[in-house]
Amino acid sequence: MKNIYLLIVLFVFCIFSNGCATILKGDKSDVFLNSDPPSNIYIDGVNYGNTPKTISLRSDRNHYVTFKRVGYKNGIAIINSYVSAGYIFADLIFSITFIPLIIDWGTENWKVLDETAFATLEPELNYSYPLPPPPF
DSSP letters spanning 96-120:
SSSHHHHHHHHHTTTEEE-SEEEEE
Number of domains within the chain: 1
Residue 6 lies in a domain: no
Does residue 10 lie in a domain region? no
How many helices (H) and strands (E) the chain has is answered by 4, 9
Query: Does any domain span residue 44?
Result: yes
Structure-model confidence comparison of residues 17 and 100, the more confident one: 100
- Is residue 60 over pLDDT 80? yes
Let me know: does 78 contact 70? Beta carbons within 8 Å: no
pLDDT at 23: 59
Q: Is residue 135 part of a domain?
A: no
- Tell me the pLDDT of the chain averaged across its residues: 79
Whether 128 is covered by a domain: the verdict is: no
Position 46 pLDDT exceeds 80: yes
- Per the structure, the complete domain to which residue 77 belongs is given by 19-120
- The region of weakest confidence among 34-48, 53-67, 84-98 is 84-98
Per residue in 41-52, is it b (16+ CB within 10 Å) or e — as a string? bbbeeeeeeebe
pLDDT at residue 29, rounded to an integer: 87
pTM of the model: 0.70
pLDDT tens readout for residues 84-132 = 777 667 766 666 667 776 776 666 677 888 999 999 999 987 655 566 6
On whether the CB atoms of residues 33 and 53 are closer than 8 A, the answer is yes
Q: Does residue 60 fall inside a structural domain?
A: yes
- The residue ranking higher by pLDDT, 131 or 65, is 65
Evaluate whether residue 8 is within a structural domain. no
